[in-house]
Structure 1
């Protein structure tokens, strides 16, 4: 069975352009990603970790076809990254940006609007909306205005919107950032048990919270300054000489920051005898 996501040596550089660079100096270039390779199996929850500015969101945008990579190649659900329109029918995006909803409309009205943008009509649209509300536990709140929702309810509606297209892959970018601990726990359980479990969705879980990733992810990819510094399970990481997972994360990032092996794609063995 081919992987749900497969990336090979993806790189992306952004160029800062404003009136100062136009008149007085050369544009400043920032390399957001460098030679990132990643494989995610179908039905897997892959954690995408790293400190702020590591390149996580840029990679999510490339996977969602909102940003084009400068070099490298990859496939999503067997489709080349260049086939952006076809890929968008296979993925769903969940983020913390609730400004993409219409606050004066109800949850149901919002979903109806976005379902129309997905070219869903008639009984299929009604069926998809009903299923999305049922899955996310938002049936009883569907007729309430979006502005009246709690942070957790807004996030659940964001997931419901992503589920309208019945995607094979869900991209979840810092999905718990605005949530309180109780809402966070509910979302983690829902993602693991319902989205990945019952619905068998492949999930990219982008976060900078190690404990959150430890709780939900099958494997993780850690980015630092746009480069992959670790791929594997957090359990393997925790079984090293450092018993504290946060300390181990810091050790890995600090080591690779000065190491010539950064970006080599090397997956380190956790055999303590080596």
Structure 2
């Protein structure tokens, strides 16, 4: 049955302001279904509640369902009026809760504004041809890179640990090396949200990952450990699990994303010059 939405109660309390008000007397509307302390529940309220209800549509077509929904609307109105009369809208808890909601909404709204503006801007760059990708560019890229690689990876924060792990992996026999790699990755690897760094397999085409890792993977045979490599993210050790061909049909969207990102990165580089970007602090690995 339709659940009572607490936020609607909060909204009613907020609209009440800082004083308790009795519902104003109203003329009996022709489509009224119920009256709760002078507040009428109308057919429009009922119809809106049906629209909101997605789970019990068939039940609401029956007389039992319709009566149950009216009772639920009456209960909701009773709760709202009782809440208003209680003075809870003047409590410190209410004021703090509403203030927090308003602040959170304001932050979310500002983030949403940025996201929408960014999307419109990027779309305009595509329309102007600044970052758009042609079919010929996609085909040319596929001629050079018609394969994808699958690796396992671990990411470490310092060269000493990376060297220790690498020595242990190279000392492990081939039949157990992949299993040992997974174990060590779970123990030592740091976690990044945007890529698997805990020893799990992940697959990429050239251009979809870090150039240093792509080059090492491309020049490695399956079943071998490579590393360690220092990148802007840390110290990497990889295990190449496999490599296979990929058709133009399967690769088209991925290649388009690769090329568009490359053009977008180049465009940002030009903006960095235009806006005279200066970074005052960099952190060196220990």
Same fold (TM over 0.5): no
The answer to which structure, 1 or 2, has the higher relative contact order (CA under 8 A, 6+ apart) is: 1
Q: Kindly indicate which of the two structures has a greater share of residues assigned to helix.
A: 2
Give the TM-score of the pair, scaled to structure 2: 0.21
Give the TM-score of the pair, scaled to structure 1: 0.22
Q: Kindly indicate which of the two structures has a greater share of residues assigned to strand.
A: 1
